[in-house]
Amino acid sequence: MNIPFIALTRQYASIKDEVDAAIARVLARGRFILGEEVAAFEEEFAAYVGARYGVGVGSGTEALHLALWAGDLGQGAEVITVSHTAVATVAAIELAGARPVFVDVDPASYTIDASQVEAAITPRTRAILPVHLYGQPADLAPLLDIARRHGLRLIEDCAQAHGATYQGRRVGAIGDAGCFSFYPTKNLGAYGDGGLIVTNDPALAERARLLRQYGWREHYVSSLRGTNSRLDELQAAILRVKLRHLEAWNERRRALAALYNQLLAGSGLTTPGEPAYSRHVYHLYVVQSERRAALQAHLQAHGVGTLVHYPLPVHRQPAYADLGYAPGSLPATERAAGRILSLPLYPELTEDEVRTVCRLIGQVDK
C-alpha cells in the first residue's frame, strides 16, 4: 500500500496537454520575465478573487514582504499576527523592518483569535496580519472593525486559502491587501516558486509593482529603492491553466473532507469544522489526537504519508527566542502544536484511499 501525503504527478497527468501547450507557447515567444503571461494572470487572478489589482512576485513570502513594505510601516513598527503559522509569515514581517507581535489562535478554527487583538495594540502597531490557515478563513469582520478604529492596515495571508470565502467574498480582496503563494503543493500551485498580491488600493498596487523590480518606472531608472521579486512567464502560463480548474479542485477537496468527517466520527479524533461565516477549501485536512505519535507511526508503517503543520510554533523556535514569549504564553497555539496531524487530501486522492486511511486510523484511536 502507498498513499502519499501529496501526489503532484497525478495532477499533472490530468492536465498534461494544457500545461505542455502553455509552456510551449512561452518558449516559442522567447520572453520569460514580466511579459504578457504575467500580465494576463495578474488580471485573471485578481478578477477571480474580486480585487481590482494583482501584482505577481517571486513567492508567497515576498508577497507578504512587499505588501507590508508598500504600506510604508515605518521604523520600529509592530504587526499583530499568530505564532501558529509557517515561519514565512514572520520572516516577511521582519523583512519589511517590522516586529511581529503574537496573539493566540481560536482553538476550533486555528486562526487568529480576534478577541485578543485589541489588547495587543500599542502606539507602534501599524498592521494586523491574519493567516487563513489550512484553507480556513480567519474571522475578518471584528478585525476590520479594530483596524478601522485604530487606523491600522489589514493584510491577509492567503497562502493556503485560494478560493476560500468569508461571508460570501473570496479572501484576499477583503483587507487592504491579500497575499498568495503558488508553491507547488498549494490549491493553486506552480511548478516552482511564485506569489501574488491582490488589492483594491491603486497606490499600494503601484508601489508594490515598483518595489518588485528595483523601483523602476522606466527601464534602469529607479524612482525608489526596491528589490528583485518577479513572477516569471513560465509559472504564470502554468497558473493560468490551473486557475481554470481551481473551483472544481476545491469542490473535490471539500467532498473528500466531508467523507473524512463522516468516516472519522466516533474515532476519538477532533476533525476540522467550518464556521458559518466561511467556506473552507481544505488546503490541508488537519485532525487532533492525544496519541499523535502512535497514530502517525501506524499510518507510516502501512504506507500512508502524514505531516504536522506545524510542530513548533514560531515563538518557540530557537531563531525567535529573542522575541520574548515564554512557554505557555500562547496556550491554544501550543496545545494544537502537540496534537495536530495532517492527513492526505488533494483532488486526485480517491475515495477508496480515504476509506483506507480511516480504517487504519480506527485501528489506533478508539
167 and 66 in a common domain: yes
Q: Which CATH number covers residue 98?
A: 3.40.640.10
195 and 54 in a common domain: yes
Give the CA distances from residue 168 to residues 14, 87, 110, 243, 278, in Å, rounded to whole numbers and listed in that order: 30, 29, 20, 19, 7
59 and 27 in a common domain: yes
Helix (H, G, I), strand (E, B) or coil at 208: helix
259 and 200 in a common domain: no
Q: In this predicted structure, what is the pLDDT of residue 74?
A: 79
Helix (H, G, I), strand (E, B) or coil at 266: coil
275 and 223 in a common domain: no
| Beta strand ranges found along 174-320 (DSSP E) | 177-181, 195-199, 216-218, 221-222, 278-279, 285-288
134 and 99 in a common domain: yes
What percentage of the chain reaches a pLDDT higher than 90? 98
DSSP conformation letters of 97-160: T-EEEEEPBPTTT-SB-GGGTGGG--TTEEEE--B-GGGPPP-HHHHHHHHHHHT-EEEEE-TT
Strand 195-199 vs strand 216-218: parallel, antiparallel, or unpaired?
Answer: unpaired
Is 1 within a domain? no
Q: How far is CA 186 from the centre of its chain?
A: 8
Residue 325 structural domain: 246-362
149 and 14 in a common domain: yes
207 and 310 in a common domain: no
pLDDT band at 366 (very low <50, low <70, confident <90, very high): low
| Residue 151: how many other CB atoms lie within 10 Å | 8
Which one of 210, 243, 276 terminates a domain? 243
Is 334 within a domain? yes
Long-range contacts of 335-338 (CB under 8 A, 24+ apart): 335/107, 336/84, 336/105, 336/107, 336/110, 336/288, 337/84, 337/308, 337/310, 337/311, 337/312, 337/313, 338/292
State the chain's mean pLDDT as an integer. 97
| CB burial string 226-261: b at 16+ within 10 A, e below | bbebbbbbbbbbbbbbbbebbeebbebbbebbebbe
312 and 239 in a common domain: no
Which one of 205, 224, 243 terminates a domain? 243
Stretch 1-12: mean pLDDT, rounded? Answer: 96
Is 58 within a domain? yes
Q: How far is CA 301 from the centre of its chain?
A: 30
Q: In this predicted structure, what is the pLDDT of residue 328?
A: 96
> How far, in Å, CA of 112 to CA of 89, rounded?
13
Return the C-alpha cell found at 18.
494544457
What percentage of the chain reaches a pLDDT higher than 70? 99
Is 2 within a domain? no
Quick one: CA dihedral 172, 173, 175, 178, positive or negative? positive
Is 281 within a domain? yes
115 and 163 in a common domain: yes
When divided into structural domains, the chain yields a total of 2
For the stretch 257-311, pLDDT in tens is 999 999 999 999 999 999 999 999 999 999 999 999 999 999 999 999 999 999 9
Q: In this predicted structure, what is the pLDDT of residue 144?
A: 98
254 and 346 in a common domain: yes
Q: In this predicted structure, what is the pLDDT of residue 181?
A: 98
> How far, in Å, CA of 128 to CA of 100, rounded?
10
299 and 227 in a common domain: no
Q: In this predicted structure, what is the pLDDT of residue 365?
A: 55
Stretch 212-233: mean pLDDT, rounded? Answer: 96
Is 189 within a domain? yes
Q: Which CATH number covers residue 298?
A: 3.90.1150.10
> How far, in Å, CA of 70 to CA of 184, rounded?
26
Is 223 within a domain? yes
Is 3 within a domain? no
Which one of 209, 226, 243 terminates a domain? 243
Stretch 73-90: mean pLDDT, rounded? Answer: 95
For the entire predicted model, the pTM comes to: 0.98
Whether residue 1 has pLDDT greater than 80: no
Contact 361, 285 (CB under 8 A): no
Stretch 36-49: mean pLDDT, rounded? Answer: 98
Strand 99-103 vs strand 53-57: parallel, antiparallel, or unpaired?
Answer: unpaired
